[in-house]
Structure 1
């Protein structure tokens, strides 16, 4: 659920805890926040000694954030002696040394004594909290059996009232409930088996080989070990494996159907390709982001000819599932590529600049040096008679087989 962490559909712990005694609190807001801290940790019994601004107090109720049941049951006293009269074990919280010969304990040690005393049923346990401005007076500390102080920064030791109540409540509640957390990670799916892990790795490696990721050859085995360790450290579930399978296949297969985005006319595409080619020549590594950005713009905004050809490549049974559009091969990005068939398609627009022609020639030489066949198609031919161009492409594929 969103918003506050308080879920009123759940029942709280029914525990018998110590009495919280606030000595002459000055602000109603502090009383309310102390009550809220008590509610957080199952403390329900509040005693208030001579509150400065009177009682009941509307500011206390507003600050309690729903801990009204604690405020409704609060008991008022005129003096500290009256408030602690029935206590057989009394703790006084203070940040100052009062030079009194009595044990000084930390909150966790105090919590152990409180749990033991309440569990034995031998008497009431109370915790004194002093005024916001100057805490407890010497004669009030003298009433206590133990002094509780917190392990805080000695140079800045003062806590506000609600913080002090919260720390004591936390230690007592944690001990009383054996530190049980209110919720845990849900077990949505059973752990993935080694068989599932191996199937995923086989699928991942197959796709990585198609794009020549696992290079150079001498580092292949080390890269595979590192990849497997990434996933085994996750302790994945069956559902995790299904999701990862889907991610790999979505990346491998690309977009379904025509590429989405705008439509560039041939002149616009030519200008963009010229810019990409010119920027790519001699670009520094720091400028590679710009090159990738231009390539993404081309990919997202295909020309009419590119749309026509892409639709045919994804729907025609001779080519379906074999080609990707505007996908990197090394540092080059041909218009269409089949990693399986090691064949690239280059679309030539009319009026291309020298930079585009030079860039395409460099890309073709790089691809052919790595055993890719490059097929050139003129945009005008694709738009005039697509079937003829597809037949020519089919013939080229048969040659590389």
Structure 2
């Protein structure tokens, strides 16, 4: 299961933190590291020094331009958050996250991404809304700031512990594959276009509509087949709306009538 957990670093500004992350991951048996738009040279002498023998993870880590690209194949995306957000999102602790991993990774196509943001500002609200849930480490409120690698060490430890304690897989039927992040993003784009087409959503006055629909959908954890059904409904809705518009246009009398 640990092989299907990806650690994603977004906008990292210090190469030492990338090396420290690699060391923390290697300590806990994680090997899939991805970098999103790093603000520093990822591999330096300090990276290698802080990795303490785990620099192989950094050398093989792919770099992506966006978070969406880095987690496109993942079926569960969890973003690390050090503060509450304007629109509350499902929140979990590292231990609770670890406890749910065996079930999340039961399917062979399942992939989990744990996303950590910039050292100075963390993840943006838009990036956090791309996550199914947020993980928060309950630190001392009087001194809550954690080094990036230390935060990853805490979360990675809970993941390893939970996977070690998970019962062996039985002969039960494999669960239906969940929709991937990429499939969900295509659905959200399709949903927004449809809501605009039928006059339900005004992009000029969004009123957090799409954010709330995103939160609702991500909380539901739809399967791939369910996602296909929903998109089929959206396509039929768009077709019906277009047909109604053509009918209304044909029923409009000419100006000289």
Q: TM-score, normalised by structure 1?
A: 0.40
Q: Please give the per-residue CA displacement for 1:261-283, whole angstroms capped at 9, x wherever unaligned.
A: xxxxxxxxxxxxxxxxxxxxxxx
Match of 2:134 among 130, 143, 147: 147
Give the SS at the match of 1:155: coil
Answering whether residue 11 of structure 2 is matched by residue 31 of structure 1, we say no
Q: How does 1:346-357 map to 2 (within 5 A)?
A: none
Q: How does 1:1-400 map to 2 (within 5 A)?
A: 15-178=2-165
For the 8 Å contact 2:13–2:119, the answer to whether it is kept is yes
Give the SS at the match of 2:8: strand
Q: Please give the per-residue CA displacement for 1:313-367, whole angstroms capped at 9, x wherever unaligned.
A: xxxxxxxxxxxxxxxxxxxxxxxxxxxxxxxxxxxxxxxxxxxxxxxxxxxxxxx
Unaligned runs of 5+ in 1: 1-13, 180-401
Give the SS at the match of 2:98: helix
For the 8 Å contact 2:35–2:64, the answer to whether it is kept is yes
Q: TM-score, normalised by structure 2?
A: 0.61
Residue 122 of structure 1 and its aligned partner are, at CA, apart by 4.2
Unaligned runs of 5+ in 2: 167-257
CA distance in 1, matches of 2:79, 2:161: 20
Residue 15 of structure 1 and its aligned partner are, at CA, apart by 4.1
For the 8 Å contact 2:3–2:32, the answer to whether it is kept is no
CA distance in 1, matches of 2:59, 2:76: 25
CA distance 1:55–1:153, shift in 2 (3 Å): closer
For the 8 Å contact 2:13–2:40, the answer to whether it is kept is yes
Larger relative contact order (Cα-Cα within 8 Å, sequence gap ≥ 6): 2
Give the superposed CA RMSD.
1.7
List structure 1 runs of 4+ shifted beyond 4 angstroms: none
Structure of larger gyration radius? 1
For the 8 Å contact 1:16–1:118, the answer to whether it is kept is no
